[in-house]
Amino acid sequence: MANLRDIRRRIKSVKNTAQITKAMQMVAASKMRKAQQAALAGRDYALLLNRVIVSLRDAIDSTSHPLLEQRAGGKELVVLMTTDKGLCGALNTNVLREAASYDPAKTLFISIGRKGTQFLARLKRQMIADFPLQERPTFPKCKQISKFCIEKFLDHTVDKVTLLYPRFVNTLTQTPTAFPILPLTSIDEIGIKTDYEALPPIEGGMEFEPSPNAVLESILPAYIHYLVFQTQLGSRASEHSARMVAMKSATDNAKSLVKDLTLEYNKARQAGITNEILEIATAQLALS
């Protein structure tokens, strides 16, 4: 009977766990929809803005603007975007694996999210700033991060700035992506164009007034600010999607385990009853 008690306790424990994971799944699903809508709403704008700025870059001398300066070697600033909490599958693991591949001697880090901060501290990587993760990213808050990156690039502390984040593809797929933002890089050149297949490529040249230099001077910093904002939106959508899928999988596994334990309990109970019947029958035969 002690074995039956252990099985009953385990069934109760697994059922309680299933209730918790189910609740977390529902919460993540409700947040996921809003986060996905926010991330997808700005994707087309980000692509077109990138294409316009790349056209500007190609129309002028790249040395005429400090944010377009190509530098060989030097240090790289990586903006690492992770989550504050776990229970979201392999989302953080995949991004942190990419972060670990950077050369410690040539890489500085900015962390957004506690998981990334803890990882960098554990590996003793050089982190020059960490920013709190926003539940709902806002443009003014993200602008503080991008302004800090621009300052470090302009004062030659670093020669390259890269965003490392879990790129949202769909509910089941989130891809760790390193996107160089300084100096200016075309989205199409780094293999992210599959996100924007619905948009046709720009054909022909563009005309800019009053001049390409004047337009670039105005919109290039704004583009950097918006890109950091857009990647944070995508990162949050990735987090909620991954957590919803992970919690659904955990709930399904818990329900399957309850079925197996219930079957094991019934078998043990039936075996116990059968043994009692045999003992009674054996005793009856011995007395007769």
The pair of three-digit structure tokens given for residue 6, joined into one six-digit string = 């252990």
Q: Could you tell me if 133 and 225 are in contact, meaning their C-beta atoms sit under 8 angstroms apart?
A: no
Cis peptide before 201 (omega within 30 of 0): no
End-to-end CA distance of the chain: 30
| Partners of 112 in beta bridges | 81, 131
Q: What is the DSSP letter of 132?
A: P
Of residues 42, 46, 119, the one with CA closest to residue 80: 119
- Out of 32, 67, 68, 88, which one is annotated catalytic? 88
DSSP alpha helix (H) spans, 64-193: 91-100, 114-123, 139-154
**Helical axes 2-41 vs 212-287, angle rounded to 10°:** 160
Q: Could you tell me if 96 and 119 are in contact, meaning their C-beta atoms sit under 8 angstroms apart?
A: yes
Q: How far apart are CA 272 and CA 265, in angstroms?
A: 10
Is residue 149 among the annotated active site residues?
no
Active site residues: 88
